[in-house]
Structure 1
Amino acid sequence: MPHDHDLHTERLRLRAVGTADRDELRRHWSEPDVCRFLFDGVPPTARETDVLIEDSARDFAAAGAGLWIARTTDGGPLIGTAGLRPLDDLGLEVYYSVAPEAWGKGYATEAAGAVVGHALGPLGLPFVLAEVDEANTASAAIVTRLGLVPYETVPGLLGPMTRYRRDAAPVTRTA
Protein backbone atom coordinates (compact mmCIF):
# COMPACT_ATOMS: atom_id res chain seq x y z
CA MET A 1 0.00 0.00 0.00
CA PRO A 2 1.52 3.38 -0.98
CA HIS A 3 2.25 5.97 1.68
CA ASP A 4 1.55 9.68 1.27
CA HIS A 5 5.22 10.62 1.15
CA ASP A 6 6.65 7.85 -1.03
CA LEU A 7 9.12 8.82 -3.72
CA HIS A 8 9.93 6.57 -6.66
CA THR A 9 12.79 6.37 -9.10
CA GLU A 10 13.52 3.87 -11.83
CA ARG A 11 15.20 1.49 -9.37
CA LEU A 12 14.22 2.71 -5.91
CA ARG A 13 11.25 3.24 -3.64
CA LEU A 14 11.74 5.77 -0.87
CA ARG A 15 9.34 5.58 2.06
CA ALA A 16 9.11 7.83 5.11
CA VAL A 17 10.87 6.16 8.03
CA GLY A 18 8.75 4.95 10.92
CA THR A 19 9.20 3.34 14.31
CA ALA A 20 9.18 -0.13 12.73
CA ASP A 21 12.46 0.82 10.97
CA ARG A 22 14.32 1.54 14.22
CA ASP A 23 16.39 -1.64 14.48
CA GLU A 24 17.25 -1.73 10.79
CA LEU A 25 18.31 1.93 10.88
CA ARG A 26 20.47 1.32 13.96
CA ARG A 27 22.24 -1.57 12.23
CA HIS A 28 22.73 0.51 9.07
CA TRP A 29 23.94 3.63 10.87
CA SER A 30 26.25 1.56 13.09
CA GLU A 31 28.31 0.44 10.08
CA PRO A 32 31.66 2.29 10.43
CA ASP A 33 31.70 3.28 6.75
CA VAL A 34 28.14 4.61 6.98
CA CYS A 35 28.44 6.63 10.19
CA ARG A 36 31.93 7.94 9.39
CA PHE A 37 30.71 11.16 7.80
CA LEU A 38 26.98 11.10 8.53
CA PHE A 39 27.45 11.01 12.31
CA ASP A 40 31.14 12.00 12.54
CA GLY A 41 32.05 8.38 13.23
CA VAL A 42 29.78 7.88 16.25
CA PRO A 43 26.64 5.84 15.57
CA PRO A 44 23.45 7.24 17.09
CA THR A 45 22.23 5.59 20.27
CA ALA A 46 18.84 3.87 20.42
CA ARG A 47 17.34 7.04 21.94
CA GLU A 48 18.98 9.28 19.31
CA THR A 49 17.61 7.01 16.57
CA ASP A 50 14.13 7.29 18.12
CA VAL A 51 14.46 11.09 18.15
CA LEU A 52 15.53 11.11 14.48
CA ILE A 53 12.47 9.02 13.59
CA GLU A 54 10.17 11.23 15.69
CA ASP A 55 11.65 14.41 14.19
CA SER A 56 11.15 12.99 10.71
CA ALA A 57 7.49 12.15 11.40
CA ARG A 58 6.94 15.68 12.71
CA ASP A 59 8.70 17.20 9.69
CA PHE A 60 6.65 15.13 7.23
CA ALA A 61 3.43 16.20 8.97
CA ALA A 62 4.44 19.86 9.02
CA ALA A 63 6.31 20.30 5.76
CA GLY A 64 6.06 17.17 3.60
CA ALA A 65 9.69 16.12 3.98
CA GLY A 66 11.89 14.30 6.45
CA LEU A 67 13.89 11.08 6.25
CA TRP A 68 13.15 8.34 3.73
CA ILE A 69 14.34 4.75 3.78
CA ALA A 70 15.38 3.45 0.37
CA ARG A 71 14.91 -0.03 -1.05
CA THR A 72 14.96 -1.36 -4.56
CA THR A 73 11.56 -1.36 -6.26
CA ASP A 74 11.31 -5.12 -5.75
CA GLY A 75 11.35 -4.57 -1.98
CA GLY A 76 14.87 -5.89 -1.48
CA PRO A 77 17.12 -5.15 1.48
CA LEU A 78 17.81 -1.66 2.77
CA ILE A 79 19.84 0.34 0.27
CA GLY A 80 20.14 3.37 2.53
CA THR A 81 18.43 6.57 3.56
CA ALA A 82 17.92 10.03 2.10
CA GLY A 83 16.28 13.07 3.56
CA LEU A 84 16.01 16.78 4.17
CA ARG A 85 16.97 18.41 7.45
CA PRO A 86 17.76 21.94 8.62
CA LEU A 87 21.33 23.12 8.08
CA ASP A 88 21.86 25.62 10.87
CA ASP A 89 19.45 28.48 10.08
CA LEU A 90 20.32 28.49 6.38
CA GLY A 91 17.66 26.20 4.92
CA LEU A 92 17.18 22.50 4.28
CA GLU A 93 20.03 20.22 3.31
CA VAL A 94 19.86 16.92 1.47
CA TYR A 95 21.63 14.10 3.27
CA TYR A 96 21.90 10.39 2.61
CA SER A 97 23.56 7.13 3.50
CA VAL A 98 24.12 3.97 1.49
CA ALA A 99 24.87 0.45 2.69
CA PRO A 100 28.46 -0.47 1.75
CA GLU A 101 27.29 -3.48 -0.26
CA ALA A 102 25.28 -1.06 -2.47
CA TRP A 103 28.16 1.37 -3.11
CA GLY A 104 29.20 2.10 -6.66
CA LYS A 105 25.80 1.44 -8.20
CA GLY A 106 24.49 5.01 -8.37
CA TYR A 107 21.92 4.50 -5.62
CA ALA A 108 23.04 7.51 -3.55
CA THR A 109 22.75 9.81 -6.56
CA GLU A 110 19.37 8.33 -7.45
CA ALA A 111 17.92 8.57 -3.92
CA ALA A 112 19.34 12.02 -3.18
CA GLY A 113 18.22 13.18 -6.63
CA ALA A 114 14.65 12.13 -5.85
CA VAL A 115 14.78 14.11 -2.60
CA VAL A 116 16.26 17.19 -4.30
CA GLY A 117 13.60 16.96 -7.02
CA HIS A 118 10.90 16.73 -4.34
CA ALA A 119 12.35 19.72 -2.49
CA LEU A 120 12.62 21.98 -5.54
CA GLY A 121 9.45 20.65 -7.20
CA PRO A 122 6.39 19.70 -5.13
CA LEU A 123 7.67 21.31 -1.91
CA GLY A 124 8.45 24.53 -3.75
CA LEU A 125 11.65 25.31 -1.88
CA PRO A 126 13.67 28.14 -3.44
CA PHE A 127 16.92 26.19 -2.95
CA VAL A 128 18.41 23.09 -1.37
CA LEU A 129 21.74 22.80 0.43
CA ALA A 130 24.31 20.12 1.20
CA GLU A 131 27.26 20.09 3.57
CA VAL A 132 30.04 17.64 2.78
CA ASP A 133 33.20 16.78 4.71
CA GLU A 134 36.20 17.68 2.57
CA ALA A 135 37.51 14.11 2.91
CA ASN A 136 34.24 12.67 1.59
CA THR A 137 35.08 12.92 -2.10
CA ALA A 138 32.39 10.41 -3.10
CA SER A 139 29.67 12.57 -1.54
CA ALA A 140 31.10 15.73 -3.11
CA ALA A 141 30.86 14.02 -6.50
CA ILE A 142 27.24 13.04 -5.82
CA VAL A 143 26.04 16.54 -4.90
CA THR A 144 27.92 17.97 -7.87
CA ARG A 145 26.16 15.48 -10.18
CA LEU A 146 22.87 16.71 -8.69
CA GLY A 147 23.66 20.27 -9.73
CA LEU A 148 24.67 21.69 -6.36
CA VAL A 149 27.59 24.12 -6.48
CA PRO A 150 30.05 24.91 -3.68
CA TYR A 151 29.72 28.31 -2.06
CA GLU A 152 31.71 28.25 1.20
CA THR A 153 33.96 26.18 3.43
CA VAL A 154 33.28 25.94 7.17
CA PRO A 155 35.03 24.09 10.02
CA GLY A 156 33.68 20.67 10.97
CA LEU A 157 34.46 18.03 13.58
CA LEU A 158 36.39 15.93 11.06
CA GLY A 159 37.98 18.88 9.26
CA PRO A 160 36.79 21.43 6.71
CA MET A 161 33.32 21.05 5.23
CA THR A 162 32.14 22.44 1.93
CA ARG A 163 28.64 23.84 1.66
CA TYR A 164 26.77 23.45 -1.62
CA ARG A 165 23.60 25.02 -2.97
CA ARG A 166 21.20 24.48 -5.84
CA ASP A 167 18.55 27.05 -6.60
CA ALA A 168 15.17 26.12 -8.00
CA ALA A 169 14.79 26.88 -11.66
CA PRO A 170 13.32 30.33 -12.16
CA VAL A 171 9.69 30.37 -13.14
CA THR A 172 9.13 32.00 -16.51
CA ARG A 173 5.78 33.53 -17.15
CA THR A 174 4.31 34.23 -20.52
CA ALA A 175 1.89 37.02 -21.17
Structure 2
Amino acid sequence: MPQDPAPWPAHETARLLLRAPQAADLAALHEIQSDPVSNRFHPGGLLETQDQAAELLQAWQAHWQVQGFGYWAIALLERPGELLGFGGLMNKPVAGRQALSLYFRFRPQAWGQGYAAEMAQAALRLAFGPLQAPAVLAVVQAANTPSRKTLERVGLRLKGSLADVPGQPADLLYEITAGHHATLPQLPPQATPFGA
Protein backbone atom coordinates (compact mmCIF):
# COMPACT_ATOMS: atom_id res chain seq x y z
CA MET A 1 0.00 0.00 0.00
CA PRO A 2 1.41 3.43 -0.90
CA GLN A 3 2.53 5.63 1.96
CA ASP A 4 1.60 9.29 2.06
CA PRO A 5 4.46 11.70 1.42
CA ALA A 6 5.26 14.41 3.91
CA PRO A 7 2.45 16.98 3.91
CA TRP A 8 2.82 19.37 1.02
CA PRO A 9 1.04 22.69 0.77
CA ALA A 10 -2.00 22.47 -1.45
CA HIS A 11 -2.40 24.95 -4.28
CA GLU A 12 -5.69 26.61 -5.19
CA THR A 13 -6.87 28.12 -8.46
CA ALA A 14 -10.16 29.91 -9.07
CA ARG A 15 -12.07 26.62 -8.94
CA LEU A 16 -9.63 23.83 -8.19
CA LEU A 17 -7.75 22.33 -5.27
CA LEU A 18 -4.40 20.90 -6.41
CA ARG A 19 -2.57 18.74 -3.88
CA ALA A 20 -0.04 15.93 -3.63
CA PRO A 21 -1.56 12.48 -4.16
CA GLN A 22 -2.23 10.46 -1.02
CA ALA A 23 -2.69 6.78 -0.25
CA ALA A 24 -6.44 7.43 0.07
CA ASP A 25 -6.48 8.42 -3.63
CA LEU A 26 -5.69 4.88 -4.79
CA ALA A 27 -9.29 3.92 -5.59
CA ALA A 28 -9.86 7.10 -7.60
CA LEU A 29 -6.58 6.66 -9.46
CA HIS A 30 -7.49 3.08 -10.36
CA GLU A 31 -10.98 4.14 -11.53
CA ILE A 32 -9.63 6.88 -13.78
CA GLN A 33 -6.64 4.93 -15.15
CA SER A 34 -8.73 1.82 -15.86
CA ASP A 35 -11.64 3.68 -17.51
CA PRO A 36 -11.62 3.01 -21.28
CA VAL A 37 -13.30 6.37 -21.96
CA SER A 38 -10.75 8.40 -19.97
CA ASN A 39 -7.92 6.44 -21.58
CA ARG A 40 -9.11 6.19 -25.17
CA PHE A 41 -6.02 8.12 -26.32
CA HIS A 42 -3.54 6.40 -24.00
CA PRO A 43 -1.25 4.21 -26.12
CA GLY A 44 0.08 2.35 -23.09
CA GLY A 45 -3.33 0.85 -22.38
CA LEU A 46 -5.37 0.62 -19.21
CA LEU A 47 -4.23 -0.18 -15.69
CA GLU A 48 -5.93 -3.51 -15.22
CA THR A 49 -5.37 -4.07 -11.50
CA GLN A 50 -5.31 -2.10 -8.29
CA ASP A 51 -1.74 -3.31 -7.75
CA GLN A 52 -0.70 -1.56 -10.97
CA ALA A 53 -2.44 1.59 -9.78
CA ALA A 54 -0.62 1.30 -6.44
CA GLU A 55 2.74 1.09 -8.25
CA LEU A 56 1.86 4.19 -10.28
CA LEU A 57 0.78 6.07 -7.16
CA GLN A 58 4.00 5.10 -5.38
CA ALA A 59 6.05 6.38 -8.33
CA TRP A 60 4.20 9.69 -8.27
CA GLN A 61 4.66 10.01 -4.51
CA ALA A 62 8.37 9.18 -4.81
CA HIS A 63 8.73 12.04 -7.31
CA TRP A 64 7.14 14.37 -4.76
CA GLN A 65 9.52 13.16 -2.07
CA VAL A 66 12.62 13.73 -4.20
CA GLN A 67 11.63 16.76 -6.27
CA GLY A 68 9.20 18.59 -3.98
CA PHE A 69 6.51 18.72 -6.69
CA GLY A 70 4.74 16.34 -9.04
CA TYR A 71 1.37 15.36 -10.41
CA TRP A 72 -1.50 16.75 -8.39
CA ALA A 73 -4.71 15.13 -7.26
CA ILE A 74 -7.36 17.54 -8.56
CA ALA A 75 -10.71 18.38 -6.98
CA LEU A 76 -13.15 21.26 -6.93
CA LEU A 77 -12.61 23.67 -4.05
CA GLU A 78 -16.15 23.11 -2.81
CA ARG A 79 -15.84 19.28 -3.06
CA PRO A 80 -12.27 18.46 -2.00
CA GLY A 81 -13.06 14.82 -1.32
CA GLU A 82 -14.23 14.06 -4.87
CA LEU A 83 -11.29 13.80 -7.26
CA LEU A 84 -11.83 14.97 -10.82
CA GLY A 85 -8.50 13.67 -12.06
CA PHE A 86 -4.75 13.96 -11.85
CA GLY A 87 -2.24 16.18 -13.58
CA GLY A 88 0.65 18.56 -13.34
CA LEU A 89 4.39 18.37 -13.88
CA MET A 90 6.98 15.65 -13.49
CA ASN A 91 10.67 15.72 -14.25
CA LYS A 92 11.17 12.79 -16.64
CA PRO A 93 12.92 11.73 -19.86
CA VAL A 94 11.09 13.12 -22.91
CA ALA A 95 12.43 12.94 -26.46
CA GLY A 96 15.88 11.91 -25.25
CA ARG A 97 16.33 14.59 -22.63
CA GLN A 98 15.32 15.22 -19.04
CA ALA A 99 12.51 17.77 -18.96
CA LEU A 100 9.41 18.91 -17.15
CA SER A 101 6.48 17.05 -18.67
CA LEU A 102 2.91 18.35 -18.43
CA TYR A 103 0.22 15.70 -18.02
CA PHE A 104 -3.49 15.52 -17.23
CA ARG A 105 -6.20 12.89 -17.12
CA PHE A 106 -9.73 13.59 -15.91
CA ARG A 107 -12.93 11.68 -15.37
CA PRO A 108 -15.24 12.07 -18.40
CA GLN A 109 -17.78 13.91 -16.20
CA ALA A 110 -15.19 16.69 -15.76
CA TRP A 111 -14.52 17.17 -19.49
CA GLY A 112 -15.45 20.31 -21.38
CA GLN A 113 -15.36 22.69 -18.39
CA GLY A 114 -11.86 24.13 -18.67
CA TYR A 115 -10.44 22.27 -15.67
CA ALA A 116 -7.45 20.90 -17.60
CA ALA A 117 -6.53 24.36 -18.86
CA GLU A 118 -6.93 25.85 -15.39
CA MET A 119 -4.66 23.18 -13.89
CA ALA A 120 -2.16 23.53 -16.75
CA GLN A 121 -1.90 27.29 -16.23
CA ALA A 122 -1.08 26.67 -12.56
CA ALA A 123 1.53 24.09 -13.56
CA LEU A 124 3.17 26.51 -15.99
CA ARG A 125 3.29 29.24 -13.35
CA LEU A 126 5.06 26.74 -11.09
CA ALA A 127 7.46 25.70 -13.86
CA PHE A 128 8.49 29.19 -14.89
CA GLY A 129 8.29 30.74 -11.43
CA PRO A 130 9.67 28.76 -8.47
CA LEU A 131 11.16 25.95 -10.58
CA GLN A 132 12.85 28.33 -13.06
CA ALA A 133 12.49 25.79 -15.87
CA PRO A 134 13.65 26.77 -19.38
CA ALA A 135 10.77 24.88 -21.02
CA VAL A 136 7.86 22.49 -20.46
CA LEU A 137 7.03 19.62 -22.81
CA ALA A 138 3.86 17.58 -23.35
CA VAL A 139 3.30 14.40 -25.34
CA VAL A 140 -0.12 13.73 -26.86
CA GLN A 141 -1.60 11.42 -29.47
CA ALA A 142 -2.33 13.11 -32.80
CA ALA A 143 -5.98 12.00 -32.66
CA ASN A 144 -6.51 13.56 -29.22
CA THR A 145 -7.88 16.84 -30.53
CA PRO A 146 -9.39 18.07 -27.22
CA SER A 147 -6.11 17.70 -25.32
CA ARG A 148 -4.17 19.26 -28.20
CA LYS A 149 -6.51 22.27 -28.13
CA THR A 150 -6.07 22.55 -24.38
CA LEU A 151 -2.27 22.56 -24.73
CA GLU A 152 -2.44 25.17 -27.48
CA ARG A 153 -4.84 27.30 -25.46
CA VAL A 154 -2.35 27.60 -22.59
CA GLY A 155 0.51 28.42 -24.96
CA LEU A 156 2.22 25.18 -25.93
CA ARG A 157 3.27 24.87 -29.56
CA LEU A 158 3.69 21.81 -31.73
CA LYS A 159 7.40 20.98 -31.86
CA GLY A 160 7.49 17.64 -33.68
CA SER A 161 6.61 13.98 -33.37
CA LEU A 162 7.86 11.26 -31.09
CA ALA A 163 7.81 7.49 -31.69
CA ASP A 164 7.80 6.58 -28.01
CA VAL A 165 5.49 3.53 -27.89
CA PRO A 166 6.55 0.57 -30.05
CA GLY A 167 3.85 -0.55 -32.46
CA GLN A 168 1.79 2.63 -31.99
CA PRO A 169 1.52 5.73 -34.21
CA ALA A 170 3.94 8.53 -33.38
CA ASP A 171 2.81 10.94 -30.67
CA LEU A 172 3.06 14.70 -31.01
CA LEU A 173 5.51 16.69 -28.94
CA TYR A 174 4.44 20.12 -27.69
CA GLU A 175 6.64 22.70 -25.97
CA ILE A 176 6.43 26.07 -24.28
CA THR A 177 9.53 28.04 -23.31
CA ALA A 178 9.89 30.40 -20.38
CA GLY A 179 10.33 33.30 -22.81
CA HIS A 180 7.13 32.51 -24.69
CA HIS A 181 5.19 31.99 -21.46
CA ALA A 182 6.26 35.43 -20.24
CA THR A 183 4.57 37.04 -23.27
CA LEU A 184 1.20 35.36 -22.75
CA PRO A 185 -1.75 37.19 -21.17
CA GLN A 186 -2.90 35.41 -18.02
CA LEU A 187 -6.53 34.97 -19.02
CA PRO A 188 -9.10 32.74 -17.34
CA PRO A 189 -9.10 29.30 -19.00
CA GLN A 190 -11.79 28.46 -21.50
CA ALA A 191 -13.47 25.11 -21.87
CA THR A 192 -12.52 22.70 -24.64
CA PRO A 193 -15.68 21.00 -25.93
CA PHE A 194 -15.86 17.21 -25.55
CA GLY A 195 -12.49 16.84 -23.86
CA ALA A 196 -10.54 17.37 -20.69
TM-score range, shorter chain: 0.7 to 0.9
- Is residue 26–residue 49 contact of structure 1 (8 Å, CA) maintained in 2? yes
Paired residues for 1:14-93 under 5 Å: 14-38=18-42, 40-43=44-47, 45-76=49-80, 77-85=82-90, 86-88=92-94, 89-90=96-97, 91-93=99-101
The match for 1:165 is 175
Question: 3-state DSSP class of the match of 2:69?
Answer: coil
1:66-85 deviation per Cα after TM superposition (whole angstroms, max 9, x unaligned) = 12111001125221111223
- Matches of 1:155 and 1:39, distance apart in 2: 11
1:15-41 deviation per Cα after TM superposition (whole angstroms, max 9, x unaligned) = 110111101110122211212224633
The match for 2:184 is none
TM-score by length of 2: 0.78
**1:133–1:143 distance in 2 versus 1, CA, 3 Å:** same
Q: Which runs of 4+ in 1 moved over 6 A?
A: none
Where does structure 1 lack aligned partners over 5 or more consecutive residues?
171-175
- Is residue 64–residue 123 contact of structure 1 (8 Å, CA) maintained in 2? no
- Matches of 2:76 and 2:126, distance apart in 1: 19
TM-score by length of 1: 0.86
Q: Residue 42 of structure 1 aligns to which amino acid in structure 2?
A: L
Paired residues for 1:116-131 under 5 Å: 116-131=124-139
Which residue among 10, 13, 18 is the counterpart of 2:17?
A: 13
Residues 136-145 or 48-57, more deviating: 48-57
Q: Which has the higher helix share?
A: 1
Q: What is the Cα deviation at residue 98 of structure 1?
A: 1.3
1:23-63 deviation per Cα after TM superposition (whole angstroms, max 9, x unaligned) = 11101222112122246332253222222222222211221
Number of matched pairs = 169
- Is residue 84–residue 93 contact of structure 1 (8 Å, CA) maintained in 2? yes
Q: What is the Cα deviation at residue 162 of structure 1?
A: 0.9
Q: What is the Cα deviation at residue 101 of structure 1?
A: 0.8
Where does structure 2 lack aligned partners over 5 or more consecutive residues?
1-6, 181-196
Question: 3-state DSSP class of the match of 1:10?
Answer: coil
- Matches of 1:42 and 1:51, distance apart in 2: 14
- Matches of 1:71 and 1:92, distance apart in 2: 23
Calculate the aligned-residue CA RMSD, in Å: 2.1
**1:156–1:112 distance in 2 versus 1, CA, 3 Å:** same
